[in-house]
Structure 1
Amino acid sequence: MNDPGSLKGIKVLIVDDSNTIRRSAEIFLNGCGCEVILASDGFDALAKIVESHPDIIFIDVVMPRLDGYQACQLIKQNPRFQSTPVVMLSSKDGMFDKAKGRIAGSNEYLVKPFTKEELMQTIKMHTL
């Protein structure tokens, strides 16, 4: 399953306050055929989710204004989006952090820096 277009048409929302992380993910995923939507924080993400109905959401844990845990809880509380997979992104890989992500409702927890393969695997696992 190494077809570069194997994720064609899947809408992916990347939420991170780091422009570098957003751009890296966008470059990785555009090459796989995904439609990539970018948001810089939790509030921005909530607006983009309503606007574009992504198939999967990758969200950074540590962000200003509304962190990833809070944003994930809000997404999962909304009946229209509660079935949308939410993947936490964090440089913290402790058990407590992962547990907190699960409590917030996340479907998965990826530790930064992530690879293109990790992103693709996660998308395939939750959307195909």
Structure 2
Amino acid sequence: MDNSFEGLKAMVIDDSKTIRRTAETLLKKVGCEVVTATDGFDALAKIADHKPDIIFVDIMMPRLDGYQTCALIKNNKAFQSTPVIMLSSKDGLFDKAKGRIVGSDQYLTKPFSRDELLNAIRSHVSGAKQSA
């Protein structure tokens, strides 16, 4: 087992159970603690309790979409430096630009690979080991 991300807390916010489960499985395999949320409201309720090191958020969600969720996270002093990675099934320039405007740190297109997920963590979380 690769424990290069031991002790790192990741949050995965997606209304798709499949995506949540996929990301959670991949991240747990490398030693991450994973908190999942089904939408932005659910996530905002859990962020304060869990204080994740990195947050993956789907753009297309009911009630509170990924852009709104990201903006709310980045507007909170306690979490504005937490990296937020947008997940989207659309690989559009508009989506990427909009993601940057609300403060997201990176944009991954679904379906993402294990390496894309882990590289996102490596590039944004200091202390994540560079090996693996």
Q: Deviations for 1:61-87, whole angstroms, at most 9, x for unmatched residues?
A: 000000000000000000000000000
The equivalent of 1:15 in structure 2 is 13
What's the CA shift for 1:27?
0.6
CA distance in structure 2 between the partners assigned to 1:95 and 1:43 by the alignment: 26
Identity %: 62
Displacement over 6 Å in runs of 4+: none
Aligned to 1:79, the other structure's residue is in SS state coil
Q: Residue 7 of structure 1 contacts residue 124 of structure 1 at CA under 8 Å; is this kept in 2?
A: no
What's the CA shift for 1:58?
0.1
The equivalent of 1:56 in structure 2 is 54
Q: Deviations for 1:4-46, whole angstroms, at most 9, x for unmatched residues?
A: 1001110000000000000000110100000000000000011
Paired residues in the alignment total 126
**TM-score normalized with structure 1 length:** 0.97
CA distance in structure 2 between the partners assigned to 1:33 and 1:122 by the alignment: 15
CA distance in structure 2 between the partners assigned to 1:50 and 1:68 by the alignment: 18
Unpaired runs of at least 5, structure 2 = 127-132
Alignment RMSD: 0.8
Correspondent of 1:119 among 114, 117, 123? 117
What's the CA shift for 1:52?
0.4
Unpaired runs of at least 5, structure 1 = none
CA distance in structure 2 between the partners assigned to 1:54 and 1:29 by the alignment: 13
**TM-score normalized with structure 2 length:** 0.94
* 1:108 aligned onto 2:70: no
CA distance in structure 2 between the partners assigned to 1:81 and 1:27 by the alignment: 25
CA distance in structure 1 between the partners assigned to 2:62 and 2:86 by the alignment: 15
